Structure 1
Amino acid sequence: MIGPHRIQIVGGGEFSCGEGERVLLAMERGGSSDIGVGCRGGGCGICRIRVVDGDYRTGKMSTAKISETEREAGFALACRVFPVSDLLIEI
């Protein structure tokens, strides 16, 4: 695992996340609860975020929760976001 990367939430807290770790699970590991937690599997949409700044990759997400247009605008499900750099996110 590479990192840790700093994940900062606009108007909220921050936590560290390794490159091979999902943002949602890193938040939980750090004891924070800024992002809503649901299924943790990419299907429910509760952990929907927008990446304002930084590089990341995503795992499979439900297109019913994040459309291709939204994905291009930086929206993703935190349970499927893997940082490649420090990230600034909005909830």
Structure 2
Amino acid sequence: MTTGLHLIRIVGGGEFSCGEDESVLLAMERCGSSDIGVGCRGGGCGICRVKVVEGGYKTGKMSAAKVSESDREAGYALACRLYPAADLLIEV
């Protein structure tokens, strides 16, 4: 894989590629997959909540009502605000 492009694998689901500057949710939609629920795409509704099992990532602004600080520490994030820094394994 080229630099900045990472493999996203979903436990019990599919896999797709995602650039570091693209959210996991948008990459999933671009690749024609539907493993993650799609809602507002803005970090507020919580429909696309996932748990990162393996891999490095950064997140954008998310609703604290949907992903608390303790949730973040446990690896939870909203896929619409999840950006890979490495290959990821996620649970939906």
What range describes the TM-score normalised by the shorter chain of this pair? over 0.9
Q: Structure 1 residue 39 and structure 2 residue 40: aligned? A: yes
Who is 1:24 aligned against?
A: 25
After TM superposition, what 4+ stretches of structure 1 lie above 2 angstroms from structure 2? none
Q: What are the residue-to-residue correspondences of 1:1-91 with 2, within 5 Å?
A: 2-91=3-92
- The amino acid across from 1:27 in the alignment is M
TM-score (norm 2): 0.96
TM-score (norm 1): 0.97
Whole-angstrom distance in 1 between the partners of 2:6 and 2:47: 23
Deviations 1:42-74 (A, max 9, x none): 000000000000000000000000000000000
- The amino acid across from 1:22 in the alignment is S
Report the aligned-residue RMSD.
0.6
Whole-angstrom distance in 2 between the partners of 1:30 and 1:20: 16
Identity %: 76
Number of aligned positions between the proteins: 90
Unmatched 5+ stretches in structure 2 = none
| 1:4 CA displacement | 1.2
